[in-house]
Amino acid sequence: MSKGKDLKPHIGIFGRRNNGKSSIINLMVNQDVAIVSALPGTTTDPVRKSIEIFGIGPAIIVDTAGIDDAGELGEKRIAKTYDAMKTIDCAIMVIVNNEFGFYEMELLKQFAEYTVPYVILHNKADLVPLDPLTLDKIRQLSKAPILDFTTTNNHSLPLLIDMLKATIPETTYQKPSLLGGVIDPDQVVLLVTPIDSEAPDGRMILPQVMAIRDVLDNDCICVVLKETHLKQYFDQKMPTPQLVITDSQAFGFVNKIVPAEVPLTSFSIVFARMRGDFDHYLAGTPTLSDLKDGDKVLILESCTHQVSCEDIGRHKLPRWIKEFSGKEIEFDIVAGLSEVVEMSTYKMVIQCGGCVVTRKQLLNRLKPAVDANVAVSNYGMTIAYLNGIFDRVIAPFKH
């Protein structure tokens, strides 16, 4: 499954083999996108499909392999099913024939581990309806909504949609504001956007585009310029901006030009406030001052991209951290959402802005570090701390 490349809410379907998970997906999307077979174990790797849910909007449905799969290959399928849990915003547990035992309780543990809200469907209810004794058993373990369901007609589907709308966190489909509560209408917001070898040809990067739109959505005046025109802007007595947002890599240069009384931050930090683990970033970033010889730092990139000599995560950050600490630090870099083993061996984890993943995916990406009491930070906060302006760039969000 290609993970972390779509910012829509992710809805996962989980259950034993041959419980009708794929048929439920086909009913929801109104087309045969998942293989349906009476042979158990038809679904192998998790399968994704885009869907439009009225009241929620665009979403991704994730079909997973049966949690009771068998054999060596089956164990690998189950591992991928549980791994998909890290990307899920809401889950559908599918049971049939009033079976609710070991496998379902294991799913409940996983839902709790990754704080995944869920609903329970008793599928094929046209053949065997939900027994009151089964309902009582489930209620002893879970307060999740439960629905007798069948794919033989469309009557059950609206009930399922209503359950999902009531269960899935609104924050996953409502579009939060990057700068809501930070800027006021009719004020000037200045965006400093350096253009270097890492900038895409002919366009701007996603955080910059989202910032421009969010400034406009907040009824503010958006001014966009390169760092080479920043001094000219202030020298010409242009309107004083309520906030200046820059690329983190230009902090050292921009900080010297922007007057101290003008709030300053970066695109990465703005994103961290909306999508990242902001409180843990605040607490973990000062660990940069505690690094010692031999400490290991893990750098997490959410996307995969072609590496250049100016690459921030692979070249600049390691160099800057070594220069700042004066220590011999070891660095590991992991791209995408690949699993990280032995997280406790690291002194610190530094996460990129996460502009191509959902908030749920990013939080679960950092969860092993947080659980292991490993300090976490992100690119923008790390660069600000290395430049001695950490307090300044987080000040706009302290309230």
Question: Which tens digits make up the pLDDT trace of 152-164?
Answer: 887 888 999 999 9
Minimum mean pLDDT range among 97-106, 207-216, 351-360:
351-360
Of 21-25, 71-75, 145-149, where does the model show the most confidence?
A: 145-149
Minimum mean pLDDT range among 20-34, 215-229, 258-272:
20-34
The pLDDT value given to residue 199: 60
Same domain, 144 and 24: yes
Residue 248 covered by a domain: yes
Three-class DSSP category at 31: coil
Compute the CA torsion angle 103, 108, 111, 116 (nearest 10 deg). Answer: 120
Percentage with pLDDT > 70 across the chain: 87
Same domain, 240 and 163: no
The pLDDT value given to residue 175: 62
Same domain, 310 and 356: yes
Residue 1 covered by a domain: no
The pLDDT value given to residue 99: 95
Residue 63 covered by a domain: yes
Dihedral sign from CA coordinates of 306, 309, 311, 315? positive
* Per-position DSSP letters for 297-351, written without gaps between them: EEEEESS-----TT-IIIIIHHHHHHHHH-S--EEEEEETT---S-GGG-SEEEE
The pLDDT value given to residue 174: 55
Residue 261 covered by a domain: yes
b vs e for 292-314, b when ≥16 Cβ sit within 10 Å of the residue's Cβ?
A: eeebbbbbbbbbeeeeeeebbbb
Mean pLDDT of 90-107: 95
Between 4 and 177, whose confidence is greater?
177
Same domain, 161 and 257: no
pLDDT surpasses 80 at 200: no
Same domain, 256 and 114: no
Note down the domain range covering 345. 283-390
Average pLDDT of the chain? 85
Compute the CA torsion angle 189, 195, 201, 206 (nearest 10 deg). Answer: -40
Determine phi and psi for 322, rounding to 5 degrees: -65, -45
CATH number where 346 lies = 3.40.50.11410
Give the model's confidence band at 353: pLDDT under 50 very low, under 70 low, under 90 confident, else very high: confident
Six-digit token string for 89? 């915003």
Six-digit token string for 120? 């329970």
The span from the CA of 281 to the CA of 383, in Å, is 12
pLDDT surpasses 50 at 1: no
Check: CB of residue 271 under 8 Å from CB of residue 214: no
Residue 375 covered by a domain: yes
CATH number where 214 lies = 3.40.50.11420
Look at the block and give the residue holding tokens 């004066």: 326
b vs e for 19-42, b when ≥16 Cβ sit within 10 Å of the residue's Cβ?
A: bbbbbbbbbbeeeebbeeeeeebb
Domains: count for the chain: 3
Mean pLDDT of 277-296: 95
Same domain, 150 and 14: yes
Check: CB of residue 244 under 8 Å from CB of residue 188: no
Minimum mean pLDDT range among 73-77, 87-91, 278-282, 344-348:
73-77
| Amino acid type, 362 | L
Between 83 and 372, whose confidence is greater?
372
Minimum mean pLDDT range among 209-218, 225-234, 304-313, 389-398:
304-313
The pLDDT value given to residue 31: 52
pLDDT surpasses 50 at 3: no
Percentage with pLDDT > 90 across the chain: 52
Compute the CA torsion angle 4, 75, 41, 145 (nearest 10 deg). Answer: -60
Give the domain-ending residue among 110, 142, 172. Answer: 172
pLDDT surpasses 50 at 38: no
Six-digit token string for 315? 């070249």
CATH number where 56 lies = 3.40.50.300
Same domain, 124 and 264: no
Residue 277 covered by a domain: no
Give the domain-ending residue among 172, 204, 221. Answer: 172
Three-class DSSP category at 271: helix
Give the domain-ending residue among 212, 246, 270. Answer: 270
Determine phi and psi for 90, rounding to 5 degrees: -155, 145
Dihedral sign from CA coordinates of 194, 323, 270, 244? negative
Same domain, 302 and 158: no
The pLDDT value given to residue 170: 65
